[in-house]
């Protein structure tokens, strides 16, 4: 029972972080049709910014907020500075074919990842460093029994829960949320409704940047921070997004938690070195059994 609870709680708090990563990926995929390989590079970079601020005696919370804002700005810069100019050059010969139009941004995102990693190496010497937690990372005690959950786990679950509630309210109750969903589903009809689809898309990149920046802040106390530590997180997040259905925001969050549990249970009942294989096996199984994802919709074409 003890090991079950350990796996369950660790799965929930890790799954919450994967849900953020997956949400960030799906936001950009739906909004801009780009698989953003730079996403965790952006998160790594903003977590370094937070780490630098904390070293310079800023409080955890001010560093936390500044990192989230930098995440939003970095996301917007990637779109405005690179993705938009790359895809809007209509007369370029290369961009005439649909397949190139979809491939080029993906390759570009790999380029950004490389640039961000090099910059982190230049600014922070690429050394691996720890990252603090705002609450103690010890197991919570009731009386004399240690629970299988730490204070920091509860913090992670709480922060992600609040984020998801705010995101849901934003998408379902506000005009801007409606504009974002509409732009992702049908850009032409949305533009004909007088909405600036380009700006809405940039906002999507910014929100995605914030979500991944938050994921970076929440995961690095456990993994430590180096230019490469968040690479695995992208793969896990991508698996979660595919399992959830790539086009569904709710699905991406659900996928995050499912993958979190898979990893936690393999870790506790199997061996930690098998986790990576388990993720890939799980991804393949999910693709075989339900290729459109749990909440994804099959593409229906009316004629």
Cβ proximity to another protein, 59 vs 172, nearer residue = 172
| DSSP label at residue 93 | S
Of the candidates 21, 14, 5, 22, the one whose C-alpha atom is nearest the C-alpha of residue 260 is 14
Phi and psi angles of residue 195, each rounded to the nearest 5 degrees, phi first: -95, 135
User: Applying CB under 8 A, which of residues 118, 138, 186, 274 lies at the interface with another protein?
Assistant: 186
Select the span of 66-74, 105-113, 173-181, 271-279 touching another protein (CB under 8 A): 173-181
Read off the tokens for 181. 């969903």
- Judged by CB under 8 A, the residue of 122, 125, 142, 192 near another protein is 192
Q: What are phi and psi of 227, to 5 degrees?
A: -55, -20
The site for another protein, by CB under 8 A, has a size of 19
CB of 91 to another protein, least distance (A): 11
Beta-bridge partners for 139: 150
Q: Does residue 143 belong to the site contacting another protein (CB under 8 A)? A: no
CB of 177 to another protein, least distance (A): 10
**Rounded to whole angstroms, how far apart are CA atoms 100 and 87?**
10
Is 298 a residue that touches another protein (CB under 8 A)?
Answer: no
In whole angstroms, how close is the CB of 189 to another protein at the nearest point?
A: 5
Identify the three-state secondary structure at position 147.
Answer: strand
175: contact with another protein by CB under 8 A: yes
Find the shortest distance in angstroms from Cβ 298 to another protein.
12
Choose between 32 and 40: whose C-beta lies nearer to another protein: 32
Rule CB under 8 A: choose which of 57, 194, 288, 299 binds another protein: 194
CA distance 37 to 51: 23
Q: Considering the complex, state which of residue 143 and residue 194 has its C-beta at the smaller distance from another protein.
A: 194
**Under 8 Å between Cβ of 151 and 137:** yes
Give the separation between CA 219 and CA 49, rounded to whole angstroms. 15
Q: Which stretch binds another protein (CB under 8 A): 31-39, 73-81, 98-106, 182-190?
A: 182-190
Options 55, 97, 193, 224; binder of another protein; rule CB under 8 A: 193
Among 86, 137, 140, 182, contact with another protein (rule: CB under 8 A): 182
Do 200 and 179 touch, CB atoms closer than 8 A? yes
SS3 149: strand
Rounded to 5°, the CA angle 200-87-114 comes to 95
Biggest CA-to-CA distance, the chain: 71
92 binds another protein (CB under 8 A): no
| Range 195-224, binding another protein (CB under 8 A) | 195-197
Nearest approach in angstroms of CB 251 to another protein is 14
Our finding on whether 185 is near another protein (CB under 8 A) is yes
Q: Which two tokens stand for residue 255?
A: 């996928």
Q: Which of 191, 228, 235, 276 binds another protein (CB under 8 A)?
A: 191
Which range binds another protein by CB under 8 A, 63-71, 134-142, 193-201, 232-240?
Answer: 193-201
**CA gap 116, 21 in Å, rounded:** 18
Distance CA 27, CA 72 (A): 13
Percentages helix, strand, coil for the chain (3-state, rounded to 5) are 75, 5, 20
Using CB under 8 A, pick the residue from 65, 166, 189, 271 that binds another protein: 189
Interacting residue ranges for another protein, rule: CB under 8 A = 175, 178-179, 181-182, 185-186, 188-197, 297, 302
């Amino acid at each position: 029972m003890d090991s079950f609870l350990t796996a369950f709680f660790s799965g929930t708090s890790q799954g919450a972080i994967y849900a953020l990563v997956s949400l960030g990926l799906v936001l950009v995929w739906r909004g801009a049709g780009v698989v953003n390989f730079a996403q965790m590079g952006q998160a790594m970079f903003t977590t370094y910014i937070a780490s630098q601020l904390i070293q310079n005696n800023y409080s955890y919370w001010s560093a936390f907020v500044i990192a989230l804002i930098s995440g939003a700005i970095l996301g917007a810069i990637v779109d405005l500075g690179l993705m938009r100019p790359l895809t809007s050059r209509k007369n370029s010969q290369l961009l005439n074919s649909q397949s190139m139009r979809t491939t080029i941004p993906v390759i570009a995102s790999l380029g950004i990842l490389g640039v961000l990693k090099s910059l982190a190496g230049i600014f922070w010497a690429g050394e691996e460093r720890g990252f603090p937690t705002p609450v103690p990372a010890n197991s919570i005690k009731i009386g004399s029994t240690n629970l299988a959950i730490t204070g920091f786990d509860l913090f992670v679950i709480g922060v992600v829960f609040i984020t998801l509630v705010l995101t849901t309210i934003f998408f379902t109750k506000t005009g801007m949320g409606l504009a974002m969903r509409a732009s992702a589903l049908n850009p032409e009809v949305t533009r004909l409704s007088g909405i600036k689809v380009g700006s809405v898309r940039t906002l999507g990149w910014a929100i995605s940047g914030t979500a991944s920046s938050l994921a970076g802040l929440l995961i690095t106390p456990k993994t430590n921070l180096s230019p490469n530590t968040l690479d695995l997180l992208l793969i896990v997040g991508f698996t979660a997004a595919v399992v959830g259905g790539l086009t569904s925001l709710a699905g991406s969050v659900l996928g995050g938690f499912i993958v979190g549990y898979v990893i936690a249970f393999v870790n506790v009942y199997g061996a930690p070195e098998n986790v990576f294989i388990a993720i890939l096996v799980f991804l393949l199984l999910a693709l075989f059994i339900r290729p459109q994802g749990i909440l994804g919709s099959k593409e229906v074409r009316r004629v």
